[in-house]
A and B are shown apart, each in its own frame.
Chain A
């Protein structure tokens, strides 16, 4: 279970451009830092973030080790029809998280 905070409007007018903001708890360990024992801590980052609106891609990004812990992503999408926005994070060590938000379009 991941800790996720999403900020998206509950309603939008057809044709509106809405902003969707998502914050997720993740260490984003770079793979370059030595641990207390002197050995390198293995890389553990989110590699990809995607967003779909009723199944259609609206946003996708690759993440890199240079991105800070608990990454915050903000993006825009055109409100075409009522439906569910699905946000997905996948990464190292089998990390997978998903959050759904419903937006009603009038």
Chain B
């Protein structure tokens, strides 16, 4: 009897400690944690973080009327700090009436063409990135919360498949570096876990703000694979998977990265 009680007690203790360990055991690391102290301070100081220049520009563009409809973002959405809070944390998503997911930049361009009757901005355009940074900045410190939309499952599965698919002359998959070897060094640089926590990011190497798509293309070129065309659905699928993988992590937009 005592033996059974003891076993039961031990089992309870084990279950409790296991549960406690699970709660506090988010071992995922944002790229922020792998940067040097100087860069972390640069990102944390809103007057030293160059990404904040783009957020400022985005705030100005938010109020500027464009297109044949002569409407600004603010005309429909009012003040972004209230209306755009949490939006970046749940993108990519399927827009109303659409059947394919779009990322934040894609959503901004949809608003331009449908509501403002203006030309869509080209990929990596400064104004597009500034608007996207301004919108995403309203979700800073919020946790990544991908939407529960069964229509997205197929795209997420496709993204996961791409993430594990070997590509390019170096015959590497995303997972080989960012899952299997994350935290180790590649030519003196810590391999990050590839969580999209701060996009669009200000990358010192670029000397400019850049989207997650640009970062993904960087990796594709790095493994000597053919980068997909800029409008390829592969990027959105991969972004969907990465956001699901980073679910619950805090957004840092605009992040600074080396």
Contact = CB atoms under 8 A, between A and B. Distances in A.
B46 interface: yes
Interface string B181-217: 0000000000000000000000010011000000000
B200 to A, nearest CB: 14
Given A5-B52, A5-B53, A70-B53, A21 B207 contact: no
Contacts of B146: none
Given A23-B53, A25-B57, A7 B47 contact: yes
A31 to B, nearest CB: 15
A68 B207 contact: yes
Contacts of A1: 60
B50 A72 contact: yes
Question: Which residue among B47, B52, B204, B207 has the maximum number of chain A CB atoms within 10 Å of its CB?
Answer: B47
A50 B74 CA distance: 36
Contact of A21 (B48, B50, B54, B60): B48
Contacts of B54: 3, 25
Given A3-B56, A5-B56, A70 B47 contact: no
Interface string A1-41: 10111110000000000000101110010000000000000
A25 B51 CA distance: 10
Contacts of A24: 53
Contacts of A21: 47-48
A69 interface: yes
Nearest to A5: B47
Contact of A7 (B45, B50, B56, B207): B45
A23 B71 CA distance: 31
A51 B44 CA distance: 26
Contact of A25 (B47, B48, B53): B53
B244 to A, nearest CB: 33
Contacts of A72: 48, 50
Nearest to B56: A3
Contact of A23 (B48, B57, B207): B48
Contacts of B53: 3-5, 23-25, 70
Nearest to B208: A69
Contacts of B45: 7
Contacts of A3: 53-54, 56-57, 60
A3 B257 CA distance: 21
B207 A5 contact: no
Nearest to B52: A5
A70 B48 contact: no
Contacts of B46: 5
A3 B56 CA distance: 7
B122 to A, nearest CB: 14
Nearest to B46: A5
Nearest to B47: A7
Interface in B21-57: 45-48, 50, 52-54, 56-57
Interface in B49-72: 50, 52-54, 56-57, 60
Given A23-B48, A72-B50, 8 more contacts: A5-B47, A5-B52, A5-B56, A7-B48, A21-B47, A25-B53, A68-B204, A68-B207
10 contacts: A3-B53, A3-B54, A3-B60, A5-B48, A5-B52, A7-B47, A21-B48, A23-B48, A25-B53, A25-B57
Interface of A: 1, 3-7, 21, 23-25, 28, 68-70, 72
